Amino acid sequence: MSNWIFALVTMLVYLGVAFLIGILAGRRHSFWSVSEFAVADRGLGLIVVWFMMGGTIFSAFSFLGGPGMAFSQGAAAFFVPAYVTLGMLPWYLLGPKVGRIGARKNFFTMGDFLGDRYQSKALTVIVGVIAVLAFIQYLTLQIKGMAFIFNILTEGFIPYWLGALLAYGIVLAYVATSGVRGAAWSDVLQGAMMLIVAWAIGFYLVYALHGGPGEMFTEINRENPDLLTIGHEGSSMSAMAYSTVILISALGFLMWPHLFTKSYSTTEKRIKLTTLAFPIFGIFMVPVLFIGFSGIGVVDPEALDSSDELLPYMITNELGASGLLYGLIGAGALAAAMSSSDAITHGGAVSLGRDVIYPLKTDLSDRAQIWIMRIGVVVIGLAAYLLSIFGSEGIIALLVGAYGSISQFVPAVYGALIWRRATKAGAIAGLIVGIAVNYYYQMIADSTPLDMNEGFIGLICNIVVFVAVSLLTRPVPAELAEEYRKA
């Protein structure tokens, strides 16, 4: 039997197990409760939260974009473990405050939080629209990853559209059925799977192809030293670009609504413990990047349609192993993509229902809201699926572009918690300006001032406008501002 058939069967078995876990997770819980669907009735445990937060970040980018970036841009890829570690730290203080406010006021989304603090339904809707659009962009890179894995590991017998449909269809089914609980318990399986595979394949390729990490980097330094430097002439990324992409990614990390709302799904103690343990995921990123470095000098870049295809290409062309092993490695890569896809799909659907639709029609029953969220799962999933199949952007561009948008929530969120004078006009104006500047530099301009990241420029403009407009407009009642500041 051909290797690709073994690989396909193995990956399909894995998808079946993930599907069962996701469906069974919601069996004994209310099917029609918004609280259950959105935040698991605020009762998720420490291990589940750790895997869910980590799995959301350890995504298709980690197994495909990360190695591809290390292969094509070298040391620039180390921005990933840097921002993953730094980005989680504010949750130690931010998470418990948001969680206390959310439990007291029965919040489910970031839009609930900002809309109440700034007393603005318009801001809630704007937050929801921006979140949904960013979710679609972020989800697209996960679906692209699934398509790459199936297509290359089955030697092209499974086309991109079908591979993406097989894996993402499973995600849609258990997210629509079980909500955040289904996503969370599936992430425990997926998290364990991808971490084991990442370390095994990362170090195996380094030792099999180069004899060890030291020998690998010595060889790269001898043949192409520019790949191991940042900010020097010939480097793939300038010091300014590298620094600002880390800053914008770290600042935007907790601004993803599906991560922000995890403050509502567990206890203060578990939030703090998760924050302390989370940098382990940053450490686990290192062998994934080793996969990309191990391909330098071994894989001809001309053999790849995109650097994102490096990992599956190396599995099929450099390992020389059985189809069963291909399938297990493919399952690990699918786990990375699926563990992000489920949380992103769920977060987008909840934002659509709670932040975009509900503020415009506040008499909706719980049952009606649940139906909107479940339909939202399909609508958002379909939009991202079509974009992944027909869009041309690579995984790196999709990731960085999505962070540029989502980081524009930073001034409004931090202003809500620490600045009494922050106003709804300031929050809305800053958000609109930041988004506009970010998209201008992403889509229209050929370059950015001083080679800064596009989203970082947008954030600077956002902060200036937020502060200036807030100082010129009427703040919310002092007791409300103080409630948020002292939460």
Q: Is 320 exposed, middle or buried (0-12, 13-18, 19+ CB in 10 A)?
A: exposed
Q: Is 207 exposed, middle or buried (0-12, 13-18, 19+ CB in 10 A)?
A: middle
Do the Cβ atoms of 420 and 481 come closer than 8 Å? Answer: yes
pLDDT above 90 covers a percentage of the chain that reads: 32
pTM of the model: 0.82
Cα–Cα distance between 8 and 286 in angstroms, integer?
A: 28
Rg, C-alpha atoms of the chain: 22
Which CATH number applies to 3-28+37-241+249-383: 3.10.129.10, 3.30.9.10, 1.20.1730.10, 3.30.565.10?
1.20.1730.10
The stretch 262-282 carries a mean pLDDT of 82
The stretch 279-296 carries a mean pLDDT of 84
Which of 289, 310, 384, 342 shows the shortest CA–CA distance to 62? 289
The stretch 371-398 carries a mean pLDDT of 79
- The pLDDT score that the predictor gives to residue 446 is 87
- The pLDDT score that the predictor gives to residue 455 is 92
- The pLDDT score that the predictor gives to residue 51 is 74
Cα–Cα distance between 32 and 179 in angstroms, integer?
A: 11
- The pLDDT score that the predictor gives to residue 379 is 92
Cα–Cα distance between 117 and 110 in angstroms, integer?
A: 11
- The pLDDT score that the predictor gives to residue 188 is 78
- Does 54 or 320 have the greater pLDDT score? 54
Cα–Cα distance between 16 and 29 in angstroms, integer?
A: 22
- The pLDDT score that the predictor gives to residue 259 is 81
- The pLDDT score that the predictor gives to residue 275 is 86
- Tell me what percent of the chain is helix, strand and coil, each rounded to the nearest 5: 80, 0, 20
Cα–Cα distance between 266 and 40 in angstroms, integer?
A: 9
Confidence of residue 475 (pLDDT cuts 50, 70, 90): very high
Does residue 398 register a pLDDT over 70?
no
What is residue 486's three-state secondary structure? coil
Which of 70, 148, 141 shows the shortest CA–CA distance to 329? 148
- Going from the C-alpha of 51 to that of each of 47, 54, 187, 252, the distances in angstroms are 6, 5, 6, 20
Confidence of residue 403 (pLDDT cuts 50, 70, 90): confident
Confidence of residue 468 (pLDDT cuts 50, 70, 90): very high
Q: Which residue has the tokens 């190396």?
A: 314
Question: Token pair for residue 381?
Answer: 């999933």
The stretch 321-333 carries a mean pLDDT of 72
How confident is the model over 88-126, as pLDDT tens digits?
Answer: 889 999 999 999 999 899 898 999 999 999 999 999 999
pLDDT above 70 covers a percentage of the chain that reads: 91
The stretch 368-391 carries a mean pLDDT of 87
Do the Cβ atoms of 131 and 376 come closer than 8 Å? Answer: no
Cα–Cα distance between 346 and 9 in angstroms, integer?
A: 28
How confident is the model over 13-55, as pLDDT tens digits?
Answer: 888 888 888 888 767 666 667 777 776 666 677 777 777 777 6
- Going from the C-alpha of 357 to that of each of 18, 122, 128, 368, 376, the distances in angstroms are 31, 12, 9, 11, 11
Confidence of residue 401 (pLDDT cuts 50, 70, 90): low
Confidence of residue 396 (pLDDT cuts 50, 70, 90): low
Cα–Cα distance between 219 and 247 in angstroms, integer?
A: 31
Does residue 211 register a pLDDT over 90?
yes
Question: Of 84-88, 231-235, 460-464, which one has max mean pLDDT?
Answer: 460-464
Question: Token pair for residue 311?
Answer: 């990992």
Alpha-helical (H) ranges within 296-445 are 310-318, 323-351, 366-390, 395-406, 410-418, 424-443
Confidence of residue 397 (pLDDT cuts 50, 70, 90): low
Question: Of 147-151, 432-436, 441-445, which one has max mean pLDDT?
Answer: 432-436
Cα–Cα distance between 216 and 455 in angstroms, integer?
A: 34
Q: What mean pLDDT is reported for the chain?
A: 85
Cα–Cα distance between 472 and 128 in angstroms, integer?
A: 26
Question: Token pair for residue 256?
Answer: 């993803």
- Going from the C-alpha of 383 to that of each of 376, 388, 391, the distances in angstroms are 10, 9, 11
Do the Cβ atoms of 424 and 120 come closer than 8 Å? Answer: yes
Alpha-helical (H) ranges within 211-238 are 213-223
- Going from the C-alpha of 214 to that of each of 217, 440, 476, the distances in angstroms are 5, 43, 58
Which of 53, 79, 51 shows the shortest CA–CA distance to 399? 79
The stretch 248-259 carries a mean pLDDT of 86
Cα–Cα distance between 25 and 13 in angstroms, integer?
A: 19
